[in-house]
Amino acid sequence: MKEIILIGGGGHCKACIDVIETTGLYQIAGIIDTKDKIGEKVLGYSIIGCDDDIPKLSKTYNYFFITIGQIGEPKLRRQLFVKLKTLKLTLPVIISPHAYVSKHTIIGEGSIIMHHACVNAGASVGENCIINTKALIEHDATINNHTHIATGAIINGGVIVGENCFIGSGAVTKQMIKIQANQFIKAHTIAT
């Protein structure tokens, strides 16, 4: 198994750990968080450093994954993504074996497809995205970079979701609409 470093040790990290463990593809070598948390554990995995340690760790590890969640502004996730790419590190696509992802989709690097999500044929998910538990991305929908589709949200056919968006839990979009970049769609909203 390939060793991987996770960045961010909060609640989203726990959900990501569960998905990563079920894939059987990666061994979690440690977690990056704030300096005051070094030495603590998240689901049995040690916090081994802070953001300042990433360049040093990049000399030993090639695989990194951003496990900081995103509610609203994705600024921190975006900054970390750029930092990791600048260091020429690999940010894999993580797909839960309990999700359905059509072979006719494109998933960008550093994105995660969580348990029981569905990404249908012709859909495309950009880089550094979160497609959370039980989210549905219908046929021919486009999810642009640094966007979080929250739990149980439904993105209907042909919808384009701009960069840096957050689509809340249980939100539903009408088909074939465009959601501009940097939008925050509240939970259980119907976007038309």
Q: Are residues 102 and 37 in the same domain?
A: no
Strands 41-42 and 45-49: what pairing?
Answer: antiparallel
Its domain, for residue 171, covers 95-192
188 has pLDDT over 80: yes
pLDDT, tens digit (0-9, with 9 covering 90-100), for 154-176: 999 999 999 999 999 999 999 99
Q: Are residues 10 and 77 in the same domain?
A: yes
Q: Are residues 72 and 106 in the same domain?
A: no
Q: Are residues 140 and 79 in the same domain?
A: no
* Domain edge (last residue) among 21, 56, 86: 86
Number of domains making up the chain: 2
Q: Are residues 107 and 170 in the same domain?
A: yes
By the 10 Å C-beta count (0-12 exposed, 13-18 middle, 19+ buried), 192 is classed as exposed
* Domain edge (last residue) among 55, 86, 117: 86
* Predicted local confidence at residue 160, as pLDDT: 98
Whole-model pTM over 0.85: yes
* Predicted local confidence at residue 126, as pLDDT: 98
Q: Are residues 61 and 116 in the same domain?
A: no
